[in-house]
Amino acid sequence: MQGKYNPRTLLPALRLFIDARNRAIATGFTDNGGAIHSVERILDILCQRVKYPHLRHINNLKSDLNAECSVDAHKARLRGENVLIEHVMPQRAFAKEVIQIVGAGARDEEIISFIINNYRLVLLTQQETIALNKLNRSRVTSTRLGDAGIMIFVQPTRPA
């Protein structure tokens, strides 16, 4: 469900907020003070529209049977228990990487490609989310989930 927020409308806004963030940083303002917050928000909406265009609201990922999830989250869903949505790449770190590629002159298609290749949401149990954030809440690593002992559920293949 794209609606008024789609890549065509969100990419110019993302560039605008990246510019505003960079100007705020240049005046001595900090990301922790809020300079990056609009970038993070617009980027998250853009990423959701690119990677999960079939979802009307991102919380619907929790009930999406094709959503990537941990083994424990899969079992929890089967029992009717609550699961949480986790950004595999922390949002602040992801935003900073996008800011870098935009600063290097990335075209819209390159930003979309970066999102397709790097933005990933998974469903976890509350305990897994706590363990993951305790271990690594802010750094980009390709093994973030595995480092926290989280195993991803793999759908069994059905015979043809």
Residue 159 is assigned to a structural domain of this protein: no
Residue 115 is assigned to a structural domain of this protein: yes
What is the number of alpha carbons within 13 Å of residue 115 lying toward its C-beta? 25
* Domain with 102 in it: 7-147
Domain tally for the chain?
A: 1
Residue 83 is assigned to a structural domain of this protein: yes
Distance of CA 51 to the CA centre of its chain: 9
Q: For residues 160 and 151, what is the distance between their CA atoms, to the nearest angstrom?
A: 27
- Tens digits of per-residue pLDDT, 1-14? 557 889 999 999 99
- Tens digits of per-residue pLDDT, 27-41? 999 999 999 999 999
Residue 157 is assigned to a structural domain of this protein: no
The answer to whether residue 111 scores a pLDDT higher than 90 is: yes
Q: For residues 38 and 22, what is the distance between their CA atoms, to the nearest angstrom?
A: 12
Residue 155 is assigned to a structural domain of this protein: no
Residue 13 is assigned to a structural domain of this protein: yes
Residue 152 is assigned to a structural domain of this protein: no
